[in-house]
Amino acid sequence: MTDYEESRFIDLSGYLIEYYWTRPPKRGETVIVMLHEGLGSLSAWQNFPRALSYKTRYPVLVYSRHGYGRSGVIEGSRDKGYMHNEALEILPALLEELSISNPVLLGHSDGASISLIHAGSGRWAVRALILEAAHVFVEEKTLEGIRVIREAYIKGDLKRRLARYHDDPDKSFFGWNDAWLNPDFLSWNIESYLAKVGCPVLLLQGENDEYGTIRQITKITKKVRGPVDARVIPSCGHSPHRDNPKLVLEIMSKFIRDL
C-alpha cells in the first residue's frame, strides 16, 4: 500500500487537506512537518518521509497543500501572497487541528519559503528549520527555469507524470506557474521575515539548482538570528532529496539528532 492510499483528510476553512503520519506521535514528542515544492504533493515525496522518520525516530507529518495532490482544487492562478497565506493562515490551522506544537519544519522550494515566513512571523514556536532550495527573493534564473518547465508541460510528457500526484494536474501546474510568471511577482520578497528566525536552520541547495543561485543561501545565512548550517550538495539539481537521498538523509538526520 502506498502513502497516497494511506492518506487522511481534514477540513480546513471549508476545503479538504490530504495528510498522513509516518506514525502517530507520542504525547510531547517533536514532530517533523514536511512542506512540498510548487509542483509537489504528499505522494510526490515518495518514500523520503518514511526514510527520514526511520533514521531520526521522529514522527513525520506530510500534507498536500490546497490545490495539490488530492487536497481541494483551487480555481485560477494563485496571487502573489499565496505563500504568506499558507504560512500565516493554513499551516497554523493545520497544526492546531492536529495538536502539533514547536515542530521541525522541513520545506522544499515553495515549502521552504513558507517555513521561513511562518517561523519569521514570530507568532508560533518552531524548534528548527530544514530548508531545501529556499527562495527569499525572485531571481532571473528562477523565472528562466519556470519558463522552461512551462514548455515541458505544454509540449512534453510532464503533464502525464504530474497526473500521478495530482487530481487536477492542469490546475496544480498553471496555478503555480502563472503566479510566478505574473509581472507582479517580480517584487515578491520575504527578507523582512529573516531577522525574527531564531531557531537552528539547516540550508541545503543543489550545486546545479536550475531554479536558484547560492545568493539565496547567502542572504538567509546573513539575516537569520539562529545558528545556520549551510550545505551545497554536489551533482544535484533543485531537489537534492531525490538526486542524492542517501547523503541528504544523513545530513538532515544528524542535524535533527543534534538539536
Q: Which residues of the chain have pLDDT under 70?
A: 1-5
- List Cβ neighbours of 144 (8 Å cut-off, separation of 6 or more): none
What CA–CA distance (Å, rounded) separates 10 from 147?
34
Helix (H) or strand (E) holding 31: none
**Residues 57, 60, 65: CA angle, nearest 5 degrees:** 170
pLDDT at 1: 34
Q: What percent of the chain has pLDDT over 90?
A: 93
CA–CA distances in Å: residue 244 to residues 47, 48, 50, 204, 207 = 13, 11, 16, 12, 12
pLDDT at 256: 96
Contact 64, 71 (CB under 8 A): yes
pLDDT at 76: 76
pLDDT at 5: 55
pLDDT at 13: 76
DSSP string for 134-152: --SB--HHHHHHHHHHHHH
pTM of the model: 0.96
pLDDT at 2: 45
pLDDT at 75: 84
Q: What are phi and psi of 35, to 5 degrees?
A: -120, 120
Domains by residue range for the chain, with CATH? 3-257 (3.40.50.1820)
